Each structure stands twice: as C-alpha cells, then as structure tokens.
Amino acid sequence: MTGAEAAVRARLASLPLRTITIDLWQDSFREAGLVANGRGRIFVEPHDSPARLDFRVCHGMTVHIHTHGDERGLELFERVKEFNPRAIVMVMQDSIVMWNPRDGLTEYEG
C-alpha cells in the first residue's frame, strides 16, 4: 500500500483533509500519496492483502474506493468499515455502493 503516509502526515498537521480515495485498479494512474484540495490518495498494491492493511487514517473520513467489484474489493470495503469512516462510496465497473453508519448500505446498479 502506498500513499497512506502522506495522508497520515496531513491529518497530524491538521491540514483540511476531507476525503481519502483508495484505488485497487491495477491500471490506475499512480498518484498515490498525493494530498491536494482536501483529498488523499492511497493505492493498494496487487500483492497487498486488504484484510491486513491499516486504514486508521480513514477514521471519520469519507472514503472513495475504486475497484472492479471482485472479492478483493469487497474485502477492502469490509476492512475500511472497521476503522469507523464517516461514509464509504465504492465505485465498481457496473455499480456504486454507498455506506454510512446511520443509513447502512445502498447499492445503485447501472
């Protein structure tokens, strides 16, 4: 996983970080670690196991997850939920899943 360190530094420095984007797309452009305009970006490497990653930086944040919708993406979704984000928006190839602690899970297919 790359990029989490920059997001942690931004939070520790009290910078106005509002969202975290986590990419599982292997063909994604590699701007992991970029913290700009209140957004942090994390790239999960192909060899990383989502269930073992530390997403404490996501606590209280809105998290956007980009994935193909495979098992690995669902593992990442469940792992991020363990760190109490404000909300999760998971964008897949054919649907969008939204979750927050108050309303639970909502899925949009299209």
Could you give the angle at the alpha carbon of 86 between the alpha carbons of 44 and 47, nearest 5°? 10
Distance CA 41, CA 5 (A): 10
The domain tally of the chain equals 1
Q: Whole domain around residue 37: which residue ranges?
A: 4-109
Residue 97 pairs with which residues in a beta bridge?
A: 90, 107
Is 0.85 topped by the overall pTM?
yes
* pLDDT value of residue 105: 95
35: confidence class by pLDDT, cuts 50, 70, 90: low
